[in-house]
Structure 1
Amino acid sequence: MTEIQGFKLLELAKDSTNIHKLKELGADIYIGLTDFSDERVEALKIFQDNGIDCHAWLLLSKGEHYWPNAHNGTAVLKRYEKFRAWTLSNQLPWKSLTLSLAPYSTDARIIDNGPLSVSKVILKRLISGSVQEHGDLNYARLRALSKAENLKLVSVISPYQVDSREVNVETWKQITGTFNILNDQEVLSIFNSYEPNSSLTLAQLKEYQSGFSTLLLGSANATKPLSNEENKRVLNWDETCKYITMARQYDKSIIIYGLEGAIKNGILEQLSNHLTDVELPNLQEAENQIAMERENTQILFTILASPGWVAFAFLFLGITIGIAILRTLKLVM
């Protein structure tokens, strides 16, 4: 899986070593459509000529917040129409249309601004009831359009989305914009960045893998998408072997996020259809921790399932803080 720009994708495709290895593995590539350039078309033609299937990973421009979600579904539909015209014009075959819903990229900065900033945004989104309805309508429309083109719709979801679904929380969609869209297949993403070490990541994979045929692992890239922020847990070969071993135990296919990083780190070069399983660490303690995290997450989601009470709690907290500030000012004066 890669979201590099078209000219970089072409450089990757022109490297015969990469092509040979991808063919040897029988690998597909999930292509993040960050542009519709001529270079990207040329790269896709090289993959096509070598029998390497490609999946269209639909992304937005940075100005439209890059990741699809309930808040920008209209922009996603427009992007799809542009993608469709470009695909037909260049006669590009796709194995699927892939979406990875995520909160606004600005949400990370909101969190960095502290609890008050987060509270304001949550309250505002809880009050705005149109997001859920528009999200459902826009992505249902997208599924209908993709089906009309005989294009399978794949949805990449996180463990948090799995938990919100289990407790049936609509307010999680309202707050983050991520929800369970209509699809033909779901892929579970288990990224290193979700947990601080590989034992916990393995335990998370084991905890959430049920019901999914394909797991997305990563990231192999040194930086995070949309920024130069360092990825503190870059996927390495040792971890990759452990994840593959566990995936085999549950008969799962895997996708590695960050093709360019996997090439640079030597992961692609070492991959083989004949890898032997490696010894996994004792995961009992890690499994207990992940189970507790999951339980706590679902408790939080259950609380969020009552937006009226959440809004009241924020209002009560605001009034309490306001009274405390007034009293403090009186004491100072």
Structure 2
Amino acid sequence: MMRAAMTPPRLTFFCELAAEPLQALFEEPAVLEHLVALKASVSLGLVDLAPERAGVVRRLHAAGIPVIAWQLLPTEQGYWFNLDNAPQAAARYAAFREWTAAHQLRWDGVGLDIEPDLHELRQLLSRRWRQLLVLLRRLRRGERLRQARDAYLALMARIREDGYRVDTYQLPLIVDERQAGSTLLQRLLGVVDLPADREVLMLYSSFVRPHGASLLESYAAQAGSVGVGSTGGGVELPGAGAAPPLSWEELSRDLLLARRRCADLHVFSLEGCVRQGFLPRLRTFDWSAPPEPAKTKTRRMELMRRVARAMSRACALLLPR
């Protein structure tokens, strides 16, 4: 029996490099050639607003590769956008607008990476139980969360007024919290639930082995776009940094599982794919190949999610306003 054809998804590659390695990456003509052949976009992490980065953006645009402006903050300000740094996020966007105008750059959209404060996350992962009291104190951050959300909504309105689509990069648990009508996760971790034009759920199986496939199958259908990874790169985190990058077999599995639930996929990261030689293999990738099912583990994941939503719903009744 012939397999039904599966059209390739829209692919976007995250790229999170400092200026010098970023320039080196795109000095290799084959990288641009592969991206053009894949009709892929690049979500470029703005770890700085340097002239060198602007030159890379112009080079990508000249090749016909759409570029999303992935907003990031200095490490001392939390790096990712969260509950505690909305004013800094707005200031960074203002600086980005000036930089964009000065270098006459074009963008396919603006990406807001909603994750816990990088410094706090490193403390949490390294100290674990010693941070429990700190987390419990955060349950009282209801008013602060409302203020942060209002500030981010204003920022998103400004971005749209500037003519850009707004993407958000979110932890998958935000979906369960939304369904539960709770703000528990947002208070504890400092993330903010925002109504994006395109929401990308970061379903990175390399960090949750051996449960990566079930995580993908469970959440992918509820995502505007699915983020798979990691193939290597990004910031270093205690514990998580020890997780090896995805192999080609693992990435292939994740891409096939994600494509059956969603036609818009993000891959973290471009530099990891280049380092492992994945781009030429993606050009001949068989999107119609059947993925390996993980039904038993997926049912277990669904049960865990239902329990988590019930607990979150109960906690919502007890949280201080």
Please tell me whether the aligned partners of residues 68 and 76 of structure 1 are also in contact (alpha carbons under 8 angstroms).
yes
1:1-333 to structure 2, matched below 5 A, reads 1-105=14-118, 106-118=120-132, 120-197=133-210, 200-221=211-232, 224-226=234-236, 230-272=241-283, 275-308=286-319
User: Partner of 1:155: helix, strand, or coil?
Assistant: strand
Letter in 2 for 1:91: Q
Please tell me whether the aligned partners of residues 68 and 108 of structure 2 are also in contact (alpha carbons under 8 angstroms).
yes
Please report how far the alpha carbon of residue 226 of structure 1 lies from its aligned counterpart in structure 2 after TM superposition: 4.3
User: Partner of 2:22: helix, strand, or coil?
Assistant: helix
1:161 and 1:129 map into 2 onto residues whose CA distance is 16
In structure 1, the residue matched to 2:10 is none
- Residue correspondences, number: 306
Please report how far the alpha carbon of residue 220 of structure 1 lies from its aligned counterpart in structure 2 after TM superposition: 0.8
2:16 and 2:272 map into 1 onto residues whose CA distance is 11
Sequence identity percentage: 22
Structure 1 residues 138 and 275, CA gap change in structure 2 (3 angstroms): same
> What does the per-residue CA deviation read over 1:78-103, in whole Å, with 9 as the maximum and x for residues that have no partner?
11001111011111111111012111
1:207 and 1:75 map into 2 onto residues whose CA distance is 34
Structure 1 residues 164 and 54, CA gap change in structure 2 (3 angstroms): same
User: Partner of 2:223: helix, strand, or coil?
Assistant: coil
Letter in 2 for 1:237: W
Please report how far the alpha carbon of residue 251 of structure 1 lies from its aligned counterpart in structure 2 after TM superposition: 4.4
User: Quick check: 240-249 or 41-50, which moved more?
Assistant: 240-249
Please report how far the alpha carbon of residue 276 of structure 1 lies from its aligned counterpart in structure 2 after TM superposition: 4.8
User: Partner of 2:283: helix, strand, or coil?
Assistant: coil
Please tell me whether the aligned partners of residues 70 and 132 of structure 1 are also in contact (alpha carbons under 8 angstroms).
yes
Where relative contact order (Cα < 8 A, 6+ residues apart) is larger, the structure is 2
Please report how far the alpha carbon of residue 238 of structure 1 lies from its aligned counterpart in structure 2 after TM superposition: 0.9
Please report how far the alpha carbon of residue 211 of structure 1 lies from its aligned counterpart in structure 2 after TM superposition: 3.7
TM-score (norm 2): 0.88
Letter in 1 for 2:280: E
User: Partner of 2:73: helix, strand, or coil?
Assistant: coil
1:187 and 1:227 map into 2 onto residues whose CA distance is 21
2:214 and 2:194 map into 1 onto residues whose CA distance is 26
2:236 and 2:254 map into 1 onto residues whose CA distance is 26
User: Partner of 2:246: helix, strand, or coil?
Assistant: coil
TM-score (norm 1): 0.85
User: Quick check: 15-24 or 125-134, which moved more?
Assistant: 125-134
User: Quick check: 224-233 or 152-161, which moved more?
Assistant: 224-233
User: Partner of 1:74: helix, strand, or coil?
Assistant: helix
Structure 2 segments unaligned to the other structure (5+ residues) = 1-13
Higher fraction of helix: 1
Letter in 1 for 2:127: N
Please tell me whether the aligned partners of residues 110 and 167 of structure 2 are also in contact (alpha carbons under 8 angstroms).
yes
1:26 and 1:273 map into 2 onto residues whose CA distance is 13
Please tell me whether the aligned partners of residues 34 and 60 of structure 1 are also in contact (alpha carbons under 8 angstroms).
yes
2:294 and 2:254 map into 1 onto residues whose CA distance is 13
Structure 1 segments unaligned to the other structure (5+ residues) = 312-333
Structure of larger gyration radius: 1
Letter in 2 for 1:104: D
* Aligned-residue RMSD, C-alpha: 2.1
